[in-house]
A and B are shown apart, each in its own frame.
Chain A
Amino acid sequence: MSSDPVVGVDLSARRSPVDPEAEVLVRAVDVSKKFASYHRRATSLKERLVRRPRGVADTFWALRGVSVDVRRGETVGLMGPNGSGKSTLLKVLSGILRPNEGSVLTVGRVASLLELGAGFDGELTGRENIYLNSALLGVPRAETDARFNEIVEFSELGEFIEFPVKTYSSGMYVRLGFSVAVHVDPDILIVDEVLAVGDAAFQRKCLDRIEMFQRQGKTILFVSHSAGLIEELCTRAVLLDHGQVIFDGLPRHAVARLNHVLGVDRAATSDSELASVSDLRIVDPASRLPIDEYQCGSSILVLATIEWKQSLEQLAKVSLHFNTASQSAVIEVAPRWHEVPVDEVRRGRTEVEWLIEELPDLPGDFTLNLGVYTLEILIAHGRLDNLRLRGASQRVAPGALRLTRVEPGTP
């Protein structure tokens, strides 16, 4: 059985390269983006007045000299390991972040979907959020009125559209987010890792919608970890590593190159000379016995050992993700980017016991990934494959029904 809904769909007809003379709609020239360390930035008056600025700021270059042109009608996939600068590049291209060096030009209406349902307000109903979110994405009210029914139908929310979104399940939330987003009708669609939402049928619908965009000659730029998705959808792929473009060309070549960079084709755990993850396993939090079946909403304990092969100069961060079988990150486990202080990342071992209080409400097949980062660079990761989350479908609402038979002739 195929756990990846993309596999087995014939999309090859669209993959012909775009006319190289087509108009450039997105142009990034020598874009560099620098982040100052969060801890070092003075945001209070006292800090500004009292602390002398240090000679060397704690900075990190998320992008270095990135140049990309995207022409009308192209579908460009952005790939790269975690922390390679993909999301930063999308934010710079969307105009959310300003590059420190270089320039960005976009022509036409841009819709950026960096997070589904960003801007939803839990207190408002689905209907009200559709209007609010559309306004945020720059859709005139008249257009939203005209497409309203289509959006609701696409989201499959039915009656729930009149309920506050705080009552929605996570699946319903992302369905509504995607439905609004795909009805924006932009010239350029910028999408960050949001296609891996909902169940397979909904993913299929989202992909159909993307295909429709492609047939209409729209320009699409998206980040995905899914090699399958990139190969099937994209006319071109750009591979980033450490903030630099290391490959720009045919999707299947980019995928091969990425697998090499990630080393995912070699082993279930990757080692670097800095650290390694071993003994990653899942147990029942109470009994500490292995679990055979994972129920949505139940609680599990993730155990692992991180071995620090040498002392790091910077603190390390660990993160735990559920990825789909095609490696798209779907759910991050709190606390996000947990920090390991610098005095604990010296030679030796750290035992990890990560309690997931409630498995997410997204039934399906997942891979669990534990990543160890320093300076946003992945230095070690552990992976558990074939994790199947079982759960009830969220399509059924509690209700009560009473039928009263009325015989003919009764008043």
Chain B
Amino acid sequence: MNLRSRTGSPQTRLRSQLIVQLVRKDLKVKYQGSTLGFLWSLANPLLLMVVYTFVFAIVFRSRVPFFGLFLLTGMLIWNFFTMGVSGAATSILANAGLVKKVPFAHESLPLASIGFAGAQVLLQYIVLIVGFIAVGMTPLRPELLLLVPATLVAVIATVGLGLFVAASTVRLRDTQHILEVGLFAWMWLTPIIYPATLVHTVLGSGLASWLYYLNPMAGVVTAFQRGLYGVVYYPGTTELLLPSDSWGFYLQTLGLGLVVASAFLVLGVWQFRRLSADFAEAL
């Protein structure tokens, strides 16, 4: 094996510079030549918001105030996860020429795909916050700090699963298709379109509910809703819209999510290390 160490601070710095270059390239290639440029990345969430608001707020008469904002709060971080993981899944295949001709740290490719998703979602959140301010729901509250651990858990889960599928897809092309179906089901198991309290009503507050939060994105999404959306009770009632008013609940679910996400990361790094040396040959 090569003596060249791929760890240590100069290498880490080089790799992050490479990731930045790759993300920049992806952004530029994606938006170059379109007049609206980055605004296009807002089109998809806005369209989803309009459609789901129509279905849930008008057809099903959901009592969630500003349903569109509630929806986007969870949807955007979910989009980060799903775009990051799907982008990572094809990142090695899409850069086959590079992998076969240039020796470099292969993990830069899935990490750049995740960074690309992150850059877009970050800007989408900025627009969302402007939306909150516009309707008088400025999200300035201590619970906003929940976004820090929630983002951390989301990033760990995305990187972990992203590395896993990036490496697996090279070996087994079906991974992309399994992933597509899996992520669709996963979205409905995450309280994005419905408030998590509905799940608590069905499952009770015991072990069954905790099983629900084994999905790290469930904890992440509820923490985002508590921090950004912040409407804990249905207006004019004491009925909970979000699962809890206290920090404790969110920190516990995030803690559980962190454990599961870290397991993803360990598994992802293991799978990637195991397979990456043979990428050039398998492509």
Contacts and interface: CB of A to CB of B under 8 A. Distances in A.
Interface of A: 35, 41, 43-46, 48, 91, 94-98, 103-107, 110, 112, 114-115, 118-119, 121, 123-124, 128, 131-132, 135-141
B102 interface: yes
B29 interface: yes
B141 interface: no
Given A35-B281, A43-B173, A135-B17, A124 B28 contact: yes
Contacts of B64: none
B14 interface: yes
A96 B283 CA distance: 12
Contacts of B278: 98
Contacts of A44: 172-174
A294 B160 CA distance: 56
Contacts of B98: 118-119, 136
A107 to B, nearest CB: 6
A205 B21 CA distance: 29
B44 interface: no
A262 to B, nearest CB: 26
Contact of B21 (A94, A107, A132): A132
A265 B166 CA distance: 50
Contacts of B100: 96
27 contacts: A35-B281, A41-B282, A44-B173, A96-B101, A98-B277, A104-B1, A104-B2, A106-B2, A112-B103, A114-B102, A118-B102, A119-B97, A121-B25, A123-B29, A123-B32, A124-B25, A124-B29, A128-B25, A135-B18, A135-B21, A135-B22, A136-B18, A136-B98, A137-B102, A138-B104, A139-B14, A140-B17
B14 to A, nearest CB: 6
A112 B4 CA distance: 14
Interface of B: 1-4, 10, 13-14, 17-18, 21-22, 24-25, 28-29, 32, 97-104, 171-174, 277-278, 280-282
Contacts of A97: 280-281
Given A43-B172, A45-B172, A96 B103 contact: yes
A95 B25 contact: no
Contacts of B13: 140
Contacts of A139: 14
B18 to A, nearest CB: 4
A118 B280 contact: no
Contact of A94 (B25, B103, B277): B103
A96 B2 contact: no
Nearest to A164: B32
Given A45-B172, A123-B28, A135-B21, A110 B277 contact: no
B29 A106 contact: no
B95 to A, nearest CB: 8
Contacts of A136: 18, 98, 102, 104
Given A45-B172, A118-B98, A137-B102, A95 B4 contact: yes
Contacts of A137: 102, 104
For B18, B101, B173, the residue with the greatest tally of chain A CB atoms inside 10 Å of its CB is B101
Given A91-B280, A123-B29, A45 B18 contact: no
A94 B29 CA distance: 29
B102 A119 contact: yes
A105 B5 CA distance: 11
Contacts of B277: 98
A38 B10 CA distance: 38
Given A43-B171, A131-B21, A135-B21, 11 more contacts: A48-B172, A91-B280, A96-B280, A97-B280, A104-B2, A105-B2, A115-B101, A118-B98, A119-B101, A119-B102, A123-B32
B14 A138 contact: yes
Contact of A128 (B3, B10, B28): B28
Contacts of A112: 102-103
Contacts of B101: 96, 114-115, 118-119
Nearest to A121: B25
Nearest to A34: B281
Contacts of B280: 91, 96-97
A128 B17 CA distance: 13
Contacts of B28: 123-124, 128
Contacts of A103: 1
Nearest to A99: B1
A35 B101 CA distance: 17
Nearest to B3: A105
A201 B18 CA distance: 33
For B24, B280, B281, the residue with the greatest tally of chain A CB atoms inside 10 Å of its CB is B281
Nearest to B100: A96
Contacts of B4: 95, 106, 110
A95 B2 contact: yes
A107 B3 contact: yes
B23 to A, nearest CB: 11
Nearest to A140: B14
A33 B92 CA distance: 22
